[in-house]
Each structure stands twice: as C-alpha cells, then as structure tokens.
Structure 1
Amino acid sequence: MIGERLRVARARSRKTMRDVAIACDCTPQAVKKWEDDTAMPDSRKFIALIKLLDVSAEWMIDQTPLDFHSTETAPQGRHAKYWVREAVAELIEQGMLTR
C-alpha cells in the first residue's frame, strides 16, 4: 500500500492532509485512510496525488520498505533532503553527532 510513502512525500513537500484533500477532491479523512493503509485512492485521485507531491507513480506504489539507513535504497532526488534530515537526527540521538 502507499501509506508510508505518502506520509514521507507529504512531509517532504510540507503539505497538510487538507492540502492533499483539496488537490484530490476528497476529504482529509480519506487522506488519513490512505496514510493508514485502510483505503486506496482511485486512479484520478492517485494521479492528482503524485502530481501534487512531485513523486513518480512507481515510487509511490513500490512495496519495498523505505530504509533510511542504506544509501542504496534511500530516497533519491527531492526525497534525499528528508532522508538526510532523518539520518542526522538519528545520529544526534545516538550521540554520534553533536549540534
């Protein structure tokens, strides 16, 4: 399903559930269901979703779990900024990096 990738892409693009709902012509509750993997958008809404979040359909539907610890499977391009932010936060939390 698309829940985790939708959350990552939405956070990266700094969009609210309401922003996504408006672009997809649905309710914020529907977007929440997509993120919780309890529902899927129809094809029209899915196309609006990937355009709004500037991600490929292939990336959004990829079933490979996101791995923020591996540079081979880390998000590429515009998603790299989110990946780096998460990796730095984890290094700080583990005491391996100081601010």
Structure 2
Amino acid sequence: MRKFALAFAAASLAMPVAMPAPAAAQNGYYTGKTWRDSQGRLRCRKRNGTTGLIVGGAAGALAGRAIDTRGERTTGTLVGAAAGALLGRHVDRNRGGRRCR
C-alpha cells in the first residue's frame, strides 16, 4: 500500500494540471482594482470603511469625553464615538482620486 501511495503521489506531481483562470480574469479586462463588466462599464473595488469606522469611533470617543466635562461624561463619550465612527467611515470609503460606479 505504501508503494502505491508513493507512486500515485509521484504521478500526480509529474502530470501538468490545467487550472481554470479566475472568473474575473477570463475576459481579459481585469487589471487589479479596476475592471470592465459585461456592458463595458468601468468598475472598481472600493474600501468598505471598516478601518475608518474603528479609528474614527475611538478618536470621537476621546474627543467627546474631553468636551463633556459635566457629570459622568458617558453621554459625550457615546455621542462622540458615534459621530467619529460615521465620519471616519465616510472618509475611508471616499478616499482616492478615481471615481468608479
């Protein structure tokens, strides 16, 4: 059984295997971050804004806590975190000079 397994492994390594190309690269238009769809329109991968959401939320929470000086400061922290997260996500998603659909 061991000889059979070794022979099978050697044969499978020796035979060239034709791997199909990824679906996006089959039409020849895919170039990385941008590609042309089936109607010829330019498409691109956009950031989803997660990094900006996290960084903006943390910065907004710290700024909101510093601004709200009365009482427990929980309200200022929560409002600042929410506003910072929304602003950070917006900035992260819309960064870049190229506009795509």
Q: TM-score range by the shorter chain?
A: under 0.3
Q: Which has the higher strand share?
A: 2
Higher Rg of the two aligned structures = 2
